[in-house]
């Protein structure tokens, strides 16, 4: 994997493309009870709070009424943190994960979340939902080792079974509790 700044830029750019192409922010999303706007709202609300509590660095959370503007502001702020040599030595402290260099925390926790939620937003918008298959397999491999911890966190639904020959993307999506066959009402699967 490339350095943290490059990886964030790549994953955030993919998500930004789905944000830019979303035309109905109230369309249902694959997460039960969520709309397209909630996918962005999730990312622009939990991460600023997580960052502030673990490092004291404050990002302005989005107001929620303009998902595209909220996302654009946050992704620029996160990229600025990763590109700034002064923050490379910052340590994030969290009671659940211990201590971790800020670039690693952003990459392993936040950017991975953005990557997975790219599928959610794409499906809500009827957009291209294809994810990098190599990273899907890599992410799934790491997450499967922490299955019990992840499930007990309440942040992942029950695993959705997929065929043995399912793609890495479908296996990852099923692992995090989404049905890889989910399509928005009146829409179709785009991958």
Q: What is the pLDDT of residues 74-130, one digit of tens each?
A: 999 999 999 999 998 999 999 888 999 999 999 999 999 999 999 999 999 999 999
d(CA 21, CA 2): 27
Query: Which residues of the chain form beta strands (DSSP E)?
Result: 91-94, 98-101
CATH topology of domain 4-175: 1.20.120
Which pLDDT score, from 0 to 100, does residue 189 have? 53
Token code pair at residue 162: 């997929």
The closest alpha carbon to 20, from 72, 63, 78, belongs to: 72
d(CA 141, CA 147): 10
Q: Given CA atoms 18, 19, 23, 26 in this order, what sign does their dihedral have?
A: positive
* Structure confidence by residue, pLDDT tens digits, 109-125: 999 999 999 999 999 99
Which single residue is written with the structure tokens 């830029």?
A: 9
The closest alpha carbon to 88, from 71, 73, 107, 72, belongs to: 107
| Sequence-ordered list of residues with C-beta below 8 angstroms from that of 161, at least 6 positions apart, any chain | 174
* Structure confidence by residue, pLDDT tens digits, 35-47: 999 999 999 999 9
């Amino acid at each position: 994997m490339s350095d943290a700044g490059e990886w964030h830029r790549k994953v955030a750019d993919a998500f930004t493309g789905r944000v830019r192409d979303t035309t109905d922010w109230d369309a249902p999303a694959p997460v039960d009870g969520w709309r397209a706007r909630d996918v962005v709202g999730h990312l622009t609300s939990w991460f600023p709070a997580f960052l502030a509590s673990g490092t004291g660095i404050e990002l302005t959370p989005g107001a929620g009424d303009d998902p595209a503007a909220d996302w654009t502001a946050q992704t620029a702020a996160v990229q600025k943190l990763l590109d700034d040599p002064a923050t490379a030595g910052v340590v994030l402290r969290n009671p659940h994960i211990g201590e971790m260099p800020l670039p690693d925390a952003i990459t392993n926790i936040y950017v991975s979340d953005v990557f997975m939620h790219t599928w959610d937003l794409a499906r809500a918008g009827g957009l291209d939902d294809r994810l990098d298959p190599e990273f899907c397999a890599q992410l799934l491999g790491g997450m499967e080792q922490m299955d019990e911890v992840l499930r007990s966190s309440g942040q992942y639904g029950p695993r959705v079974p997929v065929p043995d020959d399912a793609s890495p993307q479908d296996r990852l999506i099923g692992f995090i509790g989404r049905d890889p066959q989910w399509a928005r009402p009146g829409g179709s699967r785009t991958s």
